[in-house]
Amino acid sequence: MAKVKKAVIPAAGLGTRVLPASKVMPKEMLPIVDRPAIQYIVEEAVKSGIEDILIITNRGKGLIEDHFDHAIELEQRLEASGKLDDLDEVRRITDLANITFVRQKETKGLGHAVLCAKSFVGDEPFAVLYGDDVIIGEDPACAQLCRAFEAHGKGVLGIHEVSAEAIGKYSSVKIEPTGDGCFYVSDMIEKPKPDEVMSPYAILGRVVLTPDIFPILEQTAPGAGGEIQLTDAMKMLARTVGMTGVPFTGTRYDMGNKLGILQANCEVALSRPDLGEEFKAYLKELVATF
């Protein structure tokens, strides 16, 4: 089975759940401690063996492009003032991967955003890393899905068990264990009502697809929320040839909602060798006053 070397990061949503922060700046550029969310996602893709990345943008295109480009004046200043660690970090971002950009001209949903990647993808399998879902773990989530693609040869969904109250916000999948820690997925539903839930497993943040998805997406009518839903297209694949579900390890932070942003910043700061101890002491003192 072909190795997955391409990735698509949709980052063109309106981010209405994190307004007004996302009014001008894409939510994917919101920081977790000192890096924008999208940098964690690009780094996860690179650690997973991805070589070419397409970022789907809309507003704030310049900001995202600039972040992954050289900042000559800044680099010269850091070099002149001997701040070589900062210089290395700034340059490292530019060299992370071969990143290109395409603009989604209308915000018609995640399915439509993925369709914008058709010519970039060509005839190869590709990973989709949702631009507002940061997943941090030893074994990159994207790599776990790519391995499952190579093992099973079908499109792969990153899945996670969620509570009965939360499942209605996600896509619920119909699953059977395959015996190797993965699941066979034969159906799915976007934003199910309580009596439509197929299992407590939801699709979260990462999928691996083949170009077979594009003709389906081209025929997919707007679904939940009036948007072209990726889930509606993947459902056709699940029902016909089946897909593979991978309950990935790692901690997921939803940068598309306010609590998720706070959790990401707290937990990543606590885990950082340069900040963790000081931040923990500060938090303990702060919490004691509430």
**Site of interaction with ligand UTP (CB under 6 A):** 10-17, 28, 56, 104, 107-110, 112-113, 130-132, 256
Taking the complex as a whole, the smallest distance from the CB of residue 27 to ligand UTP amounts, in Å, to 7
Which residue, 152 or 160, is less far from ligand UTP as judged by CB? 160
Which residue of this chain has its Cβ atom nearest to ligand UTP in the complex?
Answer: 13
Least CB distance from residue 120 to ligand UTP, whole Å?
14
Least separation, in Å, of the C-beta of 74 and ligand UTP? 27
CB of 82 to ligand UTP, least distance (A): 38
Q: Which is nearer to ligand UTP, 108 or 272 (CB)?
A: 108
Q: Which residue, 78 or 142, is less far from ligand UTP as judged by CB? A: 142
Residue 78 or 229: which CB sits closer to ligand UTP?
A: 229
Residue 139 CB, nearest approach to ligand UTP (Å)? 22
Nearer to ligand UTP, 4 or 37 (CB): 37
What SS3 string covers the chain?
A: CCCCCEEEEECCCCCHHHCCCCCCCCHHHCEECCEEHHHHHHHHHHHCCCCEEEEEEECEHHHHHHHCCCCHHHHHHHHHCCCHHHHHHHHHHHCCCEEEEEECCCCCCHHHHHHCCHHHHCCCCEEEECCCEEEECCCCHHHHHHHHHHHHCCCEEEEEECCCCCHHHCEEEEEEECCCCCEEEEEEEECCCHHHCCCCEEEEEEEEECCCHHHHHHHCCCCHHHCCCHHHHHHHHHHHCCEEEEECCCEEEECCCHHHHHHHHHHHHHHCCCCHHHHHHHHHHHHHCC
